[in-house]
Chain A
């Protein structure tokens, strides 16, 4: 069965420093993986997606993620954090069934300090 595990429930960085949000996946097949961001009291916004093309995926707002099959990881990174990046981030795997549902990780709350 496909699933994702987000290794940190909370990450705190200073503005201007790099961001690393970690996600490991479990899948018997080549997975489709996504990162979504959720700002307070808002819906979920797609940051980026991996669908078996290039292993380094670039998303919106300067975020990128690298798919590493050998490590079963799909970590989200950003070179320089901005105050507006403070939010909840979810790693998501697409379930390989007829309906292509998605399973969410528990989320990582990113705090950005001035």
Chain B
């Protein structure tokens, strides 16, 4: 049973460009959350998707957007990249019905470097 799969593992972009990160949740999970982890810090919540809709959003600008597909996979899009967007982006999935009680399963992340 595959866990959470994220692609790509590493990415280098130039300031001002746009990037799309992808996430396939663990089998049986229907809820996907995205986190940004800057170097030396804890993960910060970006947003969560359930039933193809954004349910809640953290304190991130509109440059950060996402999408969830019918198969529950998800994308994170970041427009007009800034140097400060360089971070490890983590995807986490859970079963929406029981997730609160069992936590989330995390992927290994996508390391984004903006130059």
Residues of A within 8 A of B (CB): 32, 34, 36, 41-46, 49, 51, 90, 92, 94, 97-107
Contacts and interface: CB of A to CB of B under 8 A. Distances in A.
Given A43-B4, A44-B90, A101-B33, A49 B43 contact: no
Contacts, number: 57
Contacts of A41: 108
B42 A107 contact: yes
Interface of B: 4, 33, 35, 41-45, 48, 50, 55-56, 58, 90, 92, 99-109
A94 B103 CA distance: 8
Closest 8 CB pairs of A and B: A104-B42, A100-B100, A43-B108, A44-B106, A99-B56, A43-B106, A99-B55, A107-B42
Contact of B43 (A34, A44, A100): A44
Nearest to B10: A41
Given A51-B101, A97-B56, A102 B106 contact: no
B41 A106 contact: yes
B48 to A, nearest CB: 5
Given A44-B106, A98-B55, A99-B56, A90 B99 contact: no
B100 A94 contact: yes
Given A42-B108, A98-B56, A101-B56, A49 B102 contact: yes
Given A44-B90, A90-B43, A100-B100, 4 more contacts: A36-B106, A46-B105, A101-B48, A104-B42
Contact of B99 (A43, A100, A104): A100
A8 to B, nearest CB: 14
Nearest to B99: A100
Given A42-B108, A43-B107, A44-B90, A107 B99 contact: no
A43 B56 contact: no
B43 A99 contact: no
Given A44-B90, A98-B55, A105 B102 contact: no
A99 B50 CA distance: 9
A92 to B, nearest CB: 8
A107 B104 contact: no
B106 A99 contact: no
